[in-house]
Structure 1
Amino acid sequence: MVKLLKVLSQLHFLSPSNLGRLFVAIRQNGINLMLLFTLTERAGSRNTALVDSRETVTYQELKSRCEHLAHHLADQYGVKKGQKVAFLCKNHASFVQGMFAASRLGADIYMLHSSMSQLQFNRLVEEQPFDLLIYDDEFENLIENSSYERSTLVSYHEEKVSINSLSDSKRHKKGKLPAASSGKLVLLTGGTTGKPKQVTHRPSLFHFLAPFTALLNQLQLPSFNTAYIATPIYHGYGIAILLSFLALGKQVVIQESFDVQRACDLIRRHKVEVVTVVPLMIHKMLRHNPTSLHSLACIASGGAKLHPVLVREVHNELGSVLYNLYGTSEAGLNLIATPEDLHYDANTLGRRIPGGDLKVVKDGAEVEPGAIGEFCIRNKWSMQSRKNRWIQTGDVGYRDENGYYFLCGRTDDLIISAGNNIYPGEVETVLRDHPNVEDAAVIGIEDIYAGHILKAYVQVYDEVLTEETLVSWLRERVTTYQIPREIVFVKELPYTAVGKLDRKRLEMINHSCR
């Protein structure tokens, strides 16, 4: 309760009238996403809430649309508590409205990856009997070519019944909706290949206070007016920043997909102060038009490893505005590196946020500072919070003596060469420190004698650098077994749609060249 009161104080909500309004709203409607509108009513319902590629929506309009939509979903589609509503959508206002309406009805919300393959989608709908699938029109073929036969609703359409037409449609209400608290929020992990892993969270007003407070305080969100969610909303920290800004009554800019020119234009036009990115996005924007980014005061980077070179580039061009967020779909947000932390060490993930536990484990035991092991996390806001279990993240790294955490790679990235354990991320970090190296990736190649040897793919700023020069430079910075046997210079390294290094494509390229 003390934490709740502290957060409400930060939101300037501790007057008797405001507290009374909050508790009345909880009693009448339940604890769901629509509760955010109770928090923002005092800020002026005519303030802009959402800006997307189609429209600008005020808080008053957003609240009204979500309420209308909730009635339509209940009456026409039978959505109620315990049912499964899936979203196959990109970033736009209809997606947000659909989430709020489904949450108001107490339904379980499934957020599907918009880049999933036909095979993935087919497997998913066979395993999960969704009661309603809300989708963008561009994914219609994906649905038609699957076995899915239950209710569907398109997000935007000029002729069909859609989220936008239902939200704008006035109706005579037969009665008040019963109070309902939010159901489960299910995220799908695993990228675009293989079988997606379902990660279930049970939203709780109290359990999520710690990460929400960390975002408010460490990123100083209350002092800003406009945020641009450049990352997909269906990613954990994309929706976290979205909901945080809506709770603050501020303006949020979203676009269906990331385009570097459009992103730079949006930031300049709307004087955006906060942006959520994966590292590749900010890298592209800096290359395209750095002057358009000068309004930024908080760049929240996550989802992939932040390169030290990029940290320095952001600082040199924009100042101390870069934050590194570390979390997983299963465990949520757990570490934040502030600009001061990144000045301490550009490779750090930062320190633990209050309220969570993180230990570094090897062979079942916690290791000493400096030793490498797997990150294991336990907190109240994770998918396993009710079971009080430690979550094995699959990420490998270490904690230094000052409490800063560092990432070395993934457990499944481990390369064993002549009996030595090598995490490619460690070698990649060193390679990127070379002044002529823009990016680097290291993979393991099968070897008759050593089991595996290292092969590096290196992207350089110019073609002056040679393999011999780079190897000589490495010898002074890594152990002998960490030096790649082969270095290939490339124009560009492959990345996934969410900005993560695509090691599988690198391995496929290597096999095709043999």
Structure 2
Amino acid sequence: MKAIRLLRVMAAIGLLTPRALLRLAAALLTHGVNLMTLLNFSARTYGERTALTDERETLTYDEWYRQSEQLSQELRARYGLGKGSKVGLMGKNHASLAKALFAVSSTGADLYLLNAEMSPRQLTDLLGSRELDLLIHDEEQEALIGLSSYRGSRLLNYHETLPAVNRLAAAASPMRTKSFKSSTGKLILLTGGTTGKAKEAPHRPSLFAYLAPFEALLSRLKLADRHTAYVATPLYHGYGLAVLLLFCALGKKVLLRRGFEAEAACRLIRDHQADAVSVVPLMLRRMLQADPEALKSLRCVASGGAELSPKLAEETRRRLGNVLYNLYGTSEAGLAVIATPQDLERSPGTIGRAMEGVGLTVLTDASTEAAPGAAGRLCVRSPRSGRRGEPRWIETGDWGWRDEEGRYFLSGRTDSMIVSGGENVYPFEVEQVLLAHPQVEDAAVAGMMDELYGQRLKAYVQLVPGGRLSAEELKEWLRSRLARYQQPKEIVFVRRLPYTPLGKLDRKRLTQQ
């Protein structure tokens, strides 16, 4: 199966011609096995085709590669980077971060992708035990780093006079050295967002480990047919990074912006006639509110990183047509499940079907496979979840179920379940019912202590602009739609629910309101 999958991916990228195979061989001979090999192949294949554009610059594939290679040599010469080195990369979505990503990989160093929105305490906890050899960051993060305990070498992503990625990558090198061949170091994604202690999810890029997700993205999302993609999701998150790497392999144009603002995102899509975008559901909802007409060029809206509500899925289909895909995975196992527009049209709440080459199962409390329709612990097994080449089952931390046709659904996080009067209650399920109310824009549910039942539910509700609804009216509407033990004891109306920069509901801040 791996050989067949490899051939499919190679065909989609155009690698089954003698000329393309020679270009790949030349890239491997030049750089060894690391991310720079991919960029070298793309530069040889796509040359002067536009590759990246952000607020500061537009790069062809040839320029992206040459500047990344120059930066790699400067990093080795100035900071001694090589096999065994550790580098932290922290920044918003821009071309300098994309150059640094490939340059550090080319040195053979281990690369830590750091959340650009973390607090000083989180940065101290994160870096205190890791002893980085270099931290590459944006200028606006200097105050954050200064408040942390980090005292190692630092390099800015952008600066006009100080040493920075943009200046080193463009430096004239009269004594240009030969390209350095190395095997790639580990790529470490950090889970936990900005609200908890981050955990490492290390990956050593492997051709066969990434075949399943790449093939699924190519075949189900038809990305080879797209020409311009706006990567709105952060590159320090595995989801945004995967889209960037895949579009690099395909020779497509990638749009990056340092931050997300709905009106500006809509203008960007309209001006470039982008036909693909990677988003979290919150971004999609705000773009639909801002200017849905500007999104008419989109043929693929890839939503991931957080739960997609049925209400948002149906609104997207109504306004943009069948263009929405729902992606589900974990930092440890990678992409595992994809819902196509056809899946979402039939079942707007689904996360989709397991990809080929990925195992997915629902386990009961007795650790036996649950029957269709029965909820349990959602577990995944993929090539990326393996140790020493042996895939293993990983608990996703989500509670879910599957239907008779093999589509999977989420019921909520296992750690968010509450027990009310002896009944297991999942806030996620109640949230989806609340979102179905025409005057509810957004909703979140959490547990609260109750003397009689032990715990009850408390609902936080954001109404649509101009919406008028009382707590009693909403409770009455819920009575025929939820079981007795699912009914919220209290409903609080809020101006806006809190979200992390990755678009996940910030439940810690929510309960502090």
Partner residue in 1 for 2:341: 339
One-letter amino acid of the counterpart of residue 454, structure 1: L
Matches within 5 A, 1:103-252: 103-173=105-175, 175-252=177-254
* 1:65 alignment partner, SS class: helix
Partner residue in 2 for 1:497: 501
Residues 338 and 385 of structure 1: CA distance in aligned 2, closer, same or farther (over 3 Å)? farther
TM-score normalised per structure 1: 0.96
Partner residue in 2 for 1:484: 488
Partner residue in 2 for 1:80: 82
Whole-Å separation in 1 of the counterparts to 2:73 and 2:44:
25
The count of corresponding residues between Structure 1 and Structure 2 is 509
Q: How much identity, in percent, do the aligned residues show? A: 51
Whole-Å separation in 2 of the counterparts to 1:7 and 1:278:
26
One-letter amino acid of the counterpart of residue 330, structure 2: T
Check whether the contact 1:201–1:382 (CA below 8 A) recurs between aligned residues.
no
Residues 502 and 144 of structure 1: CA distance in aligned 2, closer, same or farther (over 3 Å)? closer
Match of 1:254 among 243, 253, 256: 256
Whole-Å separation in 2 of the counterparts to 1:37 and 1:284:
33
Check whether the contact 1:200–1:383 (CA below 8 A) recurs between aligned residues.
no
Greater mean deviation of Cα atoms: 2-11 or 460-469: 460-469
Whole-Å separation in 2 of the counterparts to 1:195 and 1:42:
42
> CA-atom RMSD, angstroms?
1.6
Match of 2:456 among 417, 432, 453: 453
Could you list the per-position Cα deviations for residues 391-416 of structure 1 after superposition, in whole angstroms to 9, with x for gaps in the alignment? 11111111111111101111110111
One-letter amino acid of the counterpart of residue 359, structure 1: T
Whole-Å separation in 2 of the counterparts to 1:81 and 1:177:
15
Structure 2: segments with no counterpart, 5+ residues: none
Whole-Å separation in 1 of the counterparts to 2:417 and 2:299:
37
Match of 2:104 among 81, 95, 102: 102
Match of 1:289 among 288, 291, 305: 291
Is 1:305 equivalent to 2:307 in the alignment? yes
Check whether the contact 1:31–1:182 (CA below 8 A) recurs between aligned residues.
yes
One-letter amino acid of the counterpart of residue 475, structure 2: V
One-letter amino acid of the counterpart of residue 84, structure 1: K
Whole-Å separation in 2 of the counterparts to 1:399 and 1:129:
44
Shift of 1:384: 4.7
Check whether the contact 2:90–2:236 (CA below 8 A) recurs between aligned residues.
no
Is 1:13 equivalent to 2:15 in the alignment? yes
Could you list the per-position Cα deviations for residues 199-252 of structure 1 after superposition, in whole angstroms to 9, with x for gaps in the alignment? 111110121011001011111101111000111001111011111111100100
Greater mean deviation of Cα atoms: 267-276 or 474-483: 474-483
Shift of 1:448: 1.3
* 1:4 alignment partner, SS class: helix
* 2:190 alignment partner, SS class: strand
Residues 75 and 42 of structure 1: CA distance in aligned 2, closer, same or farther (over 3 Å)? closer
TM-score normalised per structure 2: 0.96
Structure 1: segments with no counterpart, 5+ residues: 510-514
Whole-Å separation in 1 of the counterparts to 2:468 and 2:72:
62
Whole-Å separation in 2 of the counterparts to 1:35 and 1:20:
13
* 1:287 alignment partner, SS class: helix
Could you list the per-position Cα deviations for residues 303-353 of structure 1 after superposition, in whole angstroms to 9, with x for gaps in the alignment? 111111111211111111111110111111001111100001110000001
Partner residue in 1 for 2:433: 430
Residues 494 and 383 of structure 1: CA distance in aligned 2, closer, same or farther (over 3 Å)? farther
Check whether the contact 1:379–1:385 (CA below 8 A) recurs between aligned residues.
no
One-letter amino acid of the counterpart of residue 223, structure 2: L
Check whether the contact 1:82–1:108 (CA below 8 A) recurs between aligned residues.
yes
One-letter amino acid of the counterpart of residue 494, structure 1: P
Check whether the contact 1:88–1:136 (CA below 8 A) recurs between aligned residues.
yes
